[in-house]
Amino acid sequence: MASAEPDLYRKSVALVQNDLEIAAKSGIAYVNTHLGSYGSHERFKGLERVCKTVSELARSAKRGPMLLLENSAGAGALCGGTIEELGVIVKAVASKRIGICLDTAHLWASGYDISDRRGVAALLRLADKHIGLGAIAVWHLNDTEVALGARRDRHWHIGRGRIGEAGFASLLRSRLTSQACGICETPKPTEPGFSNLAVLRKLAGARKAASSGRRNIGHSGAV
């Protein structure tokens, strides 16, 4: 949606529209999308186009699924690499049909240190200021092996990367994230008996959360 190349832009928007239509017919709650790269666009001009496009998509999808915009790892000219940039889009569109999906590996790659309670708290304050925590519907829960701020998208097993168990425990046990869904997108484990989903549920205190009907964590499959 951020592309300056006309044909790619049209195909990308058409694909999202098609996904929204299919999801509406299937009773699916969310359609998740990346915003793409600005390419040859100046960032401000590209962001303006993204805001306009997302606004049009929101108006066309009056009923059915919410369109979720996912943060990027911030490489090159990718759109949505910062909380502030996502906030610009959310505020410009101002529609309940639009929400946010935050990927933990992408956050780390973009320079947000969420490896401990203090870092998670700082991120949530920033997100509340620019996006509004109520707009964050889904978290993609992935650890990563890349250095902080490396701007590379590399998912890794929960608790075995740079974010670590302390970071995920702080995020999952915060009352500020309790109403959002969690989706695990980690690689297929090679170690017998290891389960990323089981680790996440342990860190979230899943038994207590399940009894309250609030926390919902699932796995999308290997990436």
Pick the residue with more confidence: 206 or 87? 87
pLDDT higher than threshold 60 for residue 9:
yes
Q: Could you report the per-residue pLDDT of 21-46, keeping only the tens digit for each?
A: 999 999 999 999 999 998 877 888 88
- Grade residue 2 by pLDDT with cuts at 50, 70 and 90: confident
User: Is residue 207 predicted with pLDDT exceeding 50?
Assistant: no
Q: In this predicted model, what pLDDT tens digit does every residue of 95-139 receive, in sequence order?
A: 999 999 999 999 999 999 999 999 999 999 999 999 999 999 999
Mean pLDDT over residues 48-76, rounded?
Answer: 91
More confident residue, 61 or 169: 169
Residue 221 has pLDDT above 60, yes or no: no
Taking residues 188-202, what's their average pLDDT?
92
94 torsion bin: left (phi>0), alpha (psi -120 to 50), beta (else): left
pLDDT of residue 4: 81
Check if the beta carbon of residue 112 is closer than 8 Å to that of residue 149: no
Q: Delimit the domains of the chain by residue range.
A: 6-219
Banded model confidence at residue 218, pLDDT cuts 50, 70, 90: low
Provide the pLDDT for residue 219: 67
Under the banding of pLDDT at 50, 70 and 90, the label for residue 220 is low
Mean of the per-residue pLDDT values for the chain? 91
Does residue 213 carry a pLDDT above 50?
Answer: no
pLDDT exceeds 70 at position 210: no
Q: Using the predicted structure, report yes or no on whether residue 59 has a pLDDT greater than 80.
A: yes
Query: Residues of the chain with pLDDT > 70: what percent?
Result: 92
Q: Return the CATH number of the domain spanning residue range 6-219.
A: 3.20.20.150
